Structure 1
Amino acid sequence: MVSLICTLRHHTDEVTCCAFSPSLLATSSGDKTLRVYTTANFSELPFSPLRGHGYGVHCCCFSSCGSFLLSCSTDGSVIVWSAETGEVKETLEHPGRSPLRVCALAPDSSLLLAGACDGTAALWDFRSKTLRRCATVSEASVVACCFSPCAQMFVTGCTRGDLKLWDAHTSLLHAEKDAHDLGVTCCCFAPQFIINGCCVEFRLASCGQDSQLKIWIVSQREGAACTMNLLQTLTSQTAPVLSCAFSSDGEWVVSGSVDKSVAVYDASLGTVLQTLKQHDRYVTAVALSPTFPWIATGSMDRSVNVWRIGDGDDSTAAESKETRCQGRKLPGHSGLLLTDWSEDDVQTWLRDEGLVELVGIFKANNIDGPELSQLNKETAAELGIESVGLRGRLLRKIEALKAEQNGSEAPDEFLCPITRELMKDPVIAADGYSYERESIESWIRGKNKTSPMTNLPLQTTLLTPNRSLKMAITRWKSNQETAAQSSSTSDNKS
């Protein structure tokens, strides 16, 4: 289910953190550097490594859009880097120059938070890079912090073992004393949250020196205090758990431990899906890609392992990368139904499907979308397509195309609620529903940021890729193609 695809060995000291953007992987280390890799083939970018910190780098993270990379260090500074060029855009210093152990950027890139060894948390306005407040949040070192998906709250964890929930003005909302015996090491929110009437529920993962990974339900009800209730305690690892992260769809949670293992859990059931044991020393960092089924794990053995989730078929990722690189949309992936295609659309589709030899025939016979949709074995022969194999391949692709565009044949959950068309790039919005990315982005741009399904305000415009749904749609389309192939074979025999 999870397989190792490559190992990166460029750092000269322990790896302290890993972070993904939609197209990059960043790693930080005690060797004072950050290294940046493209997720196209995990080769290091020309401007890497990034050098600017005077001491070891403890943490790194990307902005949601992927434009900025942030890092914090024992030198008491947060450096904001351009993720495109590696250029230093800003250096923010802790007011007391206390060593910084962790940093986090709000999902909407409005606020930057950094936790320090003196028990303070510094909060900056990220857009103006001005310090809003530096407050004491703990009697011990702050070693963990994360923002809620709505960016209106954040959590801090300390070496004393407490978890505290704060609002954006650094007012304490809830304190969970001794959440982890001997100290918290990491915490992270699941990207999704549930709105039930006037109550909002979040899932929070935390891990610590007690060798446990805990899942909490954080509830915020209008006019009432926030609550934090333990949902489950995961204990498959036998030594302190140093890092944890949710998948982009919130279905998995992954943790790294001093026992040198990486545990992959079903976040809802709390069951262990797989244990990975390829590192030689403590696993200090885990990260999951927001766009592709990849996990990155860093260790004190100075290596970073990159893993692939799934059965090894990354055609979905390849398709996504190919479409981005082309910079245009294929006719079959546009809002047009097949019956609305022009002759040019049909000819473009033939080229993209590897049927270039048929372009001249279709052009000479003025085949447009409606005629393509009615094409069968007999009419294909009348067009002069004599090769049985080529004719069969054409008919199979037409059937697959029609199945893709025929929403009535697809399960309802595969259809975008806005367009009622089969989704190609499903994303989860703040209302908990999945939409075609282009459709919901257009909706948000043109409306007043309300949910298309509930008509309630969207608490955030952050969209999270729904990898599980995309894989399910891909499997369904594959089955449709297989069925079409079987039908075509039967027709040929008859």
Structure 2
Amino acid sequence: MATLEHTIASHASDVNWVTFSSTVLASCSGDKTVRLWEMGTWAELPCSPLLGHSYPVHCCCFSSFGTQLATCSTDGTINLWGSKSGQRLTTLAHPRNNGMRTVSFSPDSNVLVAGSVDGTLVLWDAYTKEMLSVIEAHDTSICACAFTPDGNFLLSGSMEGNMKLWDGRYGNNKCLYYLAEGHDLGVTCCVFSPTFGSANPDNPIPETQPRMQYFMLASCGADMLVKLWDVHVSPGYEMRLRVNLQGHSATVNACAFTPDGKRLASGSVDRAAIVWNPLTGEKLYMLTGHPRCVTTVAFSLDGMYLATGCMDRTVRIWRLADGPAVIPVQDGASKTEKLVDVQDAAAPITAQETTEPPQPKRKPLSDWSVEEVCDWLREKGLEQNIETFRENEIDGNELKQLTNETLSKDLGIAALGQRNKILRGIKSLQESETSSTSGQAQANLVALASALPPQLMQNLVSTFAPSLMANMAQSTGPTVTTSKGATPQAASDDKIPDEYLCPITREIMVDPVIASDGYTYERKSIESWLQKGKMTSPMTNALLPNMNLTPNRMLKMLIQRHFGGQ
């Protein structure tokens, strides 16, 4: 069985990574903090939160004996903390001040490696804190790196989808093996099995190949797959695909082995975590319940717990045990969790019946004729616009595509009040239509929205009216008030659309501007970035064509409306 034991909801932004020591769970977030929790009670330690990074914290990892915790951030630094005291021991800086996305200790904790947005791997001596090497590893951001269980080799994966094998002891710049097509759309995470092949001292070596040395690697990516590889390091270097584990329906963000190597977990944009048997490829558990994409997964050292982090700002702790595989499902009627056998997972999961009478259903908006649109305008008290809609043959499909700009320029509706009333009416129709769809259809819609890159989401919001983006941006939530010129503040459980957050600080934007890389940032944040002499994009690391900043007035208006501003 797999049961939800506890939910942690203390972070103020996306949870980017979770990791266990023998006694502590650590989590890091876009809110710039690292938090420590006591295993079993799940109480936050007195020294938590750990404050020291000035930008989002992307990854954290414990040393082998759990005495130190390493954290890396967009701010271009790695902080080393005492895991019991919470004291910051030292800060290591990227030689070019570039942000770092992943960090890892070698199995003996002698070496610390970080993968950077500029495609470099930086290695430090974990004891002397001296930089050992800077490897020009990839052309794009490195989101995944892992040591082999013996610490002799290091594997890295990039956003381009390729993977490379390196010397893990001395970090020389010679690539030992290059795999051009690891994951078609980018590698998001990779991890070696701690017990498979040469990692198992009792593993029999064929007499014909006494020098044979190989390990099992799990990797995941934007192609919706978890892949298992045989990585041979002696007598030659080679990577052979063992199997594709198929079960997710969107980008797989993270994967992790249990310390005994008998189970593998993966977390995805489809809002689910899956636990696999890596030797058979069998799906053991599917865990659902997070309302947004699962960003990270980690097993406790005893294999009893699985932690999943999410963009909903929570960490969920699952207790795992032998028994029938189950899927925790949110019950729409009672708002409690129930367990469903995995064998029944293909069947639609519906809420319990209620005593409320069924509400009359409208014809799907896409099937409306021009005259039905005109009837709807009449219901809304907008008779003066009927002839305009009829002359332009606005049917249901066309109605869904209307924006403030098309209403004004193409249809000649000059009155702002009338345009807003039409757009609000369309929004209401679409929300009603969405709420009547099946639970599975709704899950697919949200998974699709979460899978979109932030730049594309921002471009969509800038182009389309709020009514068209309401569901995809997940913009519903408690209304909060703002004072003029103040930063909007939301309740800790408010589901803030990701496109409302500055990619640099992960805070709600007050004065959003579009930089020449096409991304939108908070003005103060991107100006600070440029003033530090950084002439590259914070998101792509490509050289910025120019330093121009263009106000994103549409996004600013949407943020103000969302938070009840004037």
Tell me the TM-score range normalised by the shorter chain: 0.5 to 0.7
- In structure 1, the residue matched to 2:102 is 102
Residues 311 and 213 (structure 1), Cα distance of their counterparts in 2 relative to 1, 3 Å cut: closer
In the alignment, which of 302, 308, 325 is matched to residue 291 of structure 1? 302
CA distance in 1, matches of 2:84, 2:301: 18
SS at match of 1:259: coil
**1:234 maps to amino acid:** L
Is 1:219 the counterpart of 2:232? The answer is yes
Q: Do structure 1's residue 260 and structure 2's residue 271 form an aligned pair?
A: yes
- Which letter maps to 1:200? Q
Q: What secondary structure does 1:149 align onto?
A: coil
What residue is the counterpart of 1:277 in the other structure?
288
The SS at the match of 1:249 is: coil
The aligned counterpart of 2:221 is 208
- 1:128-143 to 2 correspondences below 5 Å: 128-143=128-143
1:178 and 2:181 are equivalent in the alignment: yes
Report the counterpart of residue 54 of structure 2 in structure 1: 54
- Structure 1 residues 368-418: Cα deviation after superposition (integer angstroms, max 9, x where no partner): xxxxxxxxxxxxxxxxxxxxxxxxxxxxxxxxxxxxxxxxxxxxxxxxxxx
Give SS of 2:195's match: strand
Letter in 1 for 2:56: G
What is the letter of the counterpart of residue 209 of structure 1?
A: A
Give the superposition deviation at 1:291: 2.3
Q: State the one-letter code of the partner of 1:189.
A: F
Equivalent residue number for residue 79 of structure 1:
79
What's the offset of the Cα at 1:110? Answer: 0.9
The answer (yes or no) to whether the contact 2:196–2:261 under 8 Å persists in 1 is no
1:420-459 Cα distance to aligned partner (Å, 9 max, x none): xxxxxxxxxxxxxxxxxxxxxxxxxxxxxxxxxxxxxxxx
- Is the CA contact 1:149–1:193 (under 8 Å) kept in the aligned structure 2? no
Structural RMSD (CA): 1.1
Counterparts in 2 of 1:19-34, with a 5 A limit?
Answer: 19-34=19-34
Structure showing the higher strand proportion among its residues: 1
In 2, Cα distance between the equivalents of 1:6 and 1:52?
A: 27
Residue 49 of structure 1 deviates from its aligned partner by: 0.5
Partner of 1:199: 212
**In structure 1, what is the Cα distance between the partners aligned to 2:109 and 2:196?**
18
Q: What is the alpha-carbon distance in structure 1 between the residues aligned to residue 226 and residue 85 of structure 2?
A: 37
Whether contact under 8 Å (1:173, 1:225) holds in the other structure is no
Does residue 92 (structure 1) correspond to residue 89 (structure 2)? The answer is: no
**Cα deviation code 1:457-483 (max 9, x no counterpart):** xxxxxxxxxxxxxxxxxxxxxxxxxxx
From the superposition, tell whether residues 155 and 263 of structure 1 become closer, same or farther in structure 2 (CA, over 3 Å). Answer: same
Match runs of 1:263-412 below 5 Å: 263-310=274-321
Quote the offset at 1:191 in angstroms. 0.8
CA distance, structure 1, for counterparts of residue 197 and residue 245 of structure 2: 23
* Counterpart in the other structure of 1:251: 262
Instruction: Trace 1:8-19 onto structure 2 (pairs within 5 A).
Output: 8-19=8-19
Amino acid at match of 1:204: L
**Distance in 2 separating the partners of 1:256 and 1:58:** 16
Deviations 1:316-369 (A, max 9, x none): xxxxxxxxxxxxxxxxxxxxxxxxxxxxxxxxxxxxxxxxxxxxxxxxxxxxxx
Instruction: Give the number of equivalent residue pairs.
Output: 310
1:191 is paired with a residue of what secondary structure?
A: coil
1:105-184 mapped onto 2 (5 Å cutoff) = 105-168=105-168, 169-170=171-172, 171-184=174-187
SS at match of 2:275: strand
- The answer as to whether partners of 1:193 and 1:200 remain within 8 angstroms in 2 is no
**In the alignment, what sits opposite 2:193?**
190
1:225: how far off?
A: 2.3
TM-score, normalised via structure 2 length: 0.54
Task: After TM superposition, give the deviation of residue 226 of structure 1 in Å.
Answer: 1.1
2:36 matched residue in structure 1: 36
**4+ residue runs over 4 A deviation:** none
1:60 Cα deviation from its structure 2 partner: 0.3
Contact 1:265/1:271 (CA < 8 Å) preserved in 2?
yes
> For residues 125 and 56 of structure 1, what CA distance do their matches in structure 2 show?
25
Residues 163 and 180 of structure 2 are in contact (CA less than 8 Å); yes or no, is this contact kept in structure 1? yes
Cα distance in 2 between the residues matched to 1:51 and 1:36 = 12
Is contact 1:215–1:233 with CA below 8 Å preserved after alignment? yes
Task: Report the CA distance between 1:116 and its aligned residue.
Answer: 0.5
Query: Do the aligned partners of residues 311 and 235 (structure 1) sit closer, same or farther apart at CA in structure 2, a change above 3 Å counting?
Result: closer
The structural deviation recorded for 1:6 is 0.3
Cα deviation code 1:90-142 (max 9, x no counterpart) = 10000001110110100100100001111111000111110011121001111
> Do the aligned partners of 2:70 and 2:80 also contact (CA within 8 Å) in 1?
yes
Identity of aligned residues (%): 42
Q: Distance in 1 between matches of 2:123 and 2:132?
A: 6
What amino acid maps onto 2:268 in structure 1? S
Cα shift at 1:311: 5.3
Is 1:237 equivalent to 2:248 in the alignment?
yes
Whole-angstrom CA distance in 2 between matches of 1:183 and 1:282: 17
Cα deviations by residue, 1:204-226 (Å, 9 ceiling, x for unpaired): 000000000000011122xx321
Query: Given residue 130 of structure 1, which amino acid in structure 2 is its aligned partner?
Result: E
> Does the CA-based 8 Å contact 1:260-1:281 persist in structure 2?
yes
Unaligned runs of 5+ in 1: 313-494
Separation in 1, partners of 2:125, 2:215: 24
